Structure 1
Amino acid sequence: MISMIRIDDRLVHGQVAVKWSKQLSVSRIIVVSDAIAKNEIQVSALKMAAPAGVKVVVLGVEKATAIINDPRSKDMKILVVTNDPKNVEELLPLLEQKDLFLNMANYGRIGGALSDKEKITETVYISPADKEVIQQIFAMGYDFQYQPLPDDSPQSLKQLIGG
């Protein structure tokens, strides 16, 4: 069962590997990205960043969906992490689980000029294309919480964007 889906440019790092995985008591972190799943060096680095007792797998959208929807995953606590809102937009309609906690933090500062992006918070910058994808996710009935760390007060991304 998915405990949280997070969009974060850094994928598996201190905030995710230490703070969120402990807060959510996850046993698996699934990094969802077709591109990253094909890059053996990135896959190895992400697996090495895993906290003790947590298994990290890196999968494309289709394979991740199959694993998450597998009945054997129902008893697991899974943290899904991706670095692209498009992956979340593709993943959501394919998931059997519909009560999902979506989180976004540390997104948009890597790749592309910040001047071409809208600053939403200190750690979230979105391009016009990102905004369209995020609006599509809102249209599916979901919202993201902007909450970098578990102890931070959550804020609705929909309200922050004005969507």
Structure 2
Amino acid sequence: MISMVRIDDRLIHGQVAVKWSKELGISRIVVISDKIATNEIQISALKMAAPAGVKAAILPLDKAIKILNDPRSEALKILVVTNDPKYVAGLVPQLTQKPRLNIANYGRIGGVLSDKRKVTETVYLSETDEQIFQEMFADGYDFTYQPLPSDPEQSLNQLLGGH
């Protein structure tokens, strides 16, 4: 079962590996990135960053959809992490369940910050990103902005001026 899908530029790092993994009681982390899934060095680094007792898999989107919908995944507690909203937009409509969606620490790596909209201290969105989120909101999905489990949840839709 997917406990949460998180968009975070840093993928598996302290907040995910320590705080969220413990809070959600996860046994697996699935990183979704078509690009990273072909880079053995990045795959090794991400697997080493996973906390003790938690297995990590770095997968392209199409393979992740198959694995996450496999009935054997129901018995697991899975945290899905990606660094691009397009993967979440491609993933969630294909899932048999509607997972909790979370965003934090996104948009500051890559690109020019002045070309992006500052939504929070840790979320910066390009026009393309905003379009993806608006389409997801229209389809009935929302994201919580919550960097750490101890932080209050805020609706990304509301932060962007929606309802």
TM-score (norm 2): 0.98
What is the match of residue 39 of structure 1? Answer: 39
Distance (whole Å) between structure 2 residues aligned to residue 11 and residue 137 of structure 1: 21
Asked if 1:149 corresponds to 2:148, the answer is: yes
2:85 maps to 1:115: no
1:57 aligned counterpart, secondary structure = strand
The residue correspondences of 1:6-155 to structure 2 (distance < 5 A) are 6-98=6-98, 100-155=99-154
Alpha-carbon offset, residue 140 of structure 1? 1.6
Shifted more, 25-34 versus 133-142: the winner is 133-142
Residue type of the partner of 1:141? G
Look up the equivalent residue of 1:116 and give its one-letter code. D
- The Cα shift of 1:84 comes to 0.1
SS of match in other structure, 1:22: helix
CA distance in 1, matches of 2:36, 2:94: 20
Any stretches of 5+ residues in structure 1 without a counterpart?
Answer: none
Q: What secondary structure is seen at the aligned counterpart in 2 of 1:6? A: strand
Would you identify which runs of 4 or more consecutive aligned residues in structure 1 move more than 3 Å? none
Structure 1 distance, partners of 2:66, 2:20, is 24
Amino acid at match of 1:151: S
1:50, distance to aligned residue in structure 2 (A) = 0.5
Tell me which residue corresponds to 2:160.
Answer: 161
Cα shift at 1:114: 0.4
For residues 45-99 of structure 1, the C-alpha deviation after alignment (integer angstroms, 9 at most, x for no partner) is 000001000000000111111111111110100000000000000001111112x
* Deviations 1:110-149, CA, capped at 9 Å, x for gaps: 0011000000000000000100011111112110000000
**Equivalent-residue separation in structure 2 for 1:68 and 1:122 (angstroms):** 31
How many equivalent residue pairs? Answer: 162
CA distance in 2 between counterparts of 1:133 and 1:41 reads 30
User: What percentage of aligned pairs have identical amino acids?
Assistant: 69
Structure 2: which 5+ residue stretches go unaligned? Answer: none
